[in-house]
Amino acid sequence: MATQIPRVPTSQLFSLEGKTVVATGGTGGLGLEICIALAETGADIVSIHLPRDPGQTTLEEAVRKLGRKVIGFECDVGDSKQLRETFDRMWKADVVPDILLNCAGLNRRGPIEDMTDDKIDLIFSVNLKGAYVAAQEFGQRLIKLGRPGKIINFGSFTSYVAMTNVSAYAATKGGVLQMTKAFSNEWACHGIQASIVSCSYT
């Protein structure tokens, strides 16, 4: 006779009760909605956000309304020195991380011939280097603590499909795709999973 497997409620299957999510870019758009959804499943949220970002207030109100904890750390993700210092402040505040939501990103549209160094540097510093440094700092902390965890990076359909007027953006998102594969391969032995969400227009 077949063994009867007890039914587990869907809410329990996807429960993040007791987990802490560290999020970049979680104060607006898709990042905000994902942070709220994660809080709905039981996660506490640690937000890395730009100074005076009004979206942080929106995030805090939504998460607290769900009965979850939320804390913010001001930082420009495109400044790697500042980003590393922010993670250091986070660890000194006894944040114990489980999940990194690497959602910060931006774009400056235009034909290739019009992309200035300033535009290229800005896009690369946030979308690619910022994502790399955040994942690196997060993963190093997990390894030090001997904890498993998850890194969720945000790519784009431009990681795979050629589009016009988004050359620098597409280059960074292609880089995030390959970065995710590298982190996943190298840190699997530590119980750290890395995955990528590649969206179209949102």
Find the largest Cα–Cα distance for the chain: 70
- Average pLDDT of the chain is 94
Residue 119 lies in a domain: yes
Quote the pLDDT of residue 151. 99
Contact 153, 176 (CB under 8 A): yes
Measured between alpha carbons, how far is 184 from 105 in angstroms, rounded to an integer? 21
Residue 1 has pLDDT above 70, yes or no: no
Residue 10 lies in a domain: no
CATH of the domain at 43: 3.40.50.720
Residue 60 lies in a domain: yes
Residue 202 lies in a domain: no
Phi-psi region of 3 (alpha: psi -120 to 50; beta: other; left: phi over 0): beta
* Six token digits for residue 135: 């994942």
Contact 110, 165 (CB under 8 A): yes
Residue 2 lies in a domain: no
Q: Are β-strands 70-74 and 99-102 bridged in parallel, bridged antiparallel, or unpaired? A: unpaired
* Six token digits for residue 111: 């034909």
Stretch 23-31: mean pLDDT: 95
Class of residue 184 by CB neighbours under 10 A (exposed 0-12, middle 13-18, buried 19+): middle
Residue 103 lies in a domain: yes
Range of the domain at 126: 16-197
The total of structural domains in the chain comes to 1
Q: Which residues pair with 143 in a beta bridge?
A: none
Residue 11 has pLDDT above 70, yes or no: no
Quote the pLDDT of residue 37. 95
Quote the pLDDT of residue 14. 83
CA distances from 21 to 35, 41, 86, 155, 199 (A): 8, 11, 15, 19, 20
Residue 4 lies in a domain: no
Residue 186 lies in a domain: yes
